[in-house]
Amino acid sequence: MVVLEMKMNTNSLVISIVCIACFLVVAFSLNTVFLEKVDQLALTWAESIRAEPITALMHGFAFLGATKTVFVLTVAVLIILFVARASHKELAFTAVTMAATGLVNLFVKEWVERERPAQYMLVELSSYSFPSGHSMGAMSFYTVLTFLIWKRVNKQSHRVAFVVFASLMILIMGFSRLYLGVHYLSDVIGGYLLSGSLVFFLFWLFQPRKSNG
């Protein structure tokens, strides 16, 4: 068990480093011809498949990923953890991860100052575009939930089912930002990478360490 925990700690740190390295590559490539062309193609494709039923669903995901909604969901998870007598580290990990996700997103948006693709937008937003806050929030929230549930569920099929569910929620949330024309594809990918780096780093940070004594 100790060996497994040490391996998970090491893997989490490696994943975090890889994610932040990839995020920096994306961040410093935003103005390249290649990425601009990819972003344009993705938005054009998303615009071409718009239909009323899909649009309604995507607006639903926009609400689900809004800051206030994520805050309420996070508080609900914390209450459940508290009632279930979860460890202080689990409570702290959940709270710190979600709070840090929002703060880091705001900081990076102000640092990069990327304008949104105004000509494609179905929703009026005034904040900056990179990275996608909805994508970051979904990545953090559902990854944290996966960690928490994985620890409590022993049946492998149930674990896999939740991982599939969480992955779909993350992917659809990112797609909804592209579909609604409020983000470039690189905003979504950047959000996933930055949030992934943050979550796995904090997971590594909050894990118990083997005592030297």
For the question of residue 158 being annotated catalytic, the response is no
Given 59, 88, 134, 158, which residue is catalytic?
134
24 burial (CB, 10 Å; 0-12 / 13-18 / 19+) is middle
Write the CB contacts of 197 (distance below 8 Å, at least 6 apart in sequence): 15, 16, 17, 19, 20, 23
Given 59, 88, 158, 183, which residue is catalytic?
183
For the question of residue 134 being annotated catalytic, the response is yes
Which positions are annotated as active-site residues? 134, 183
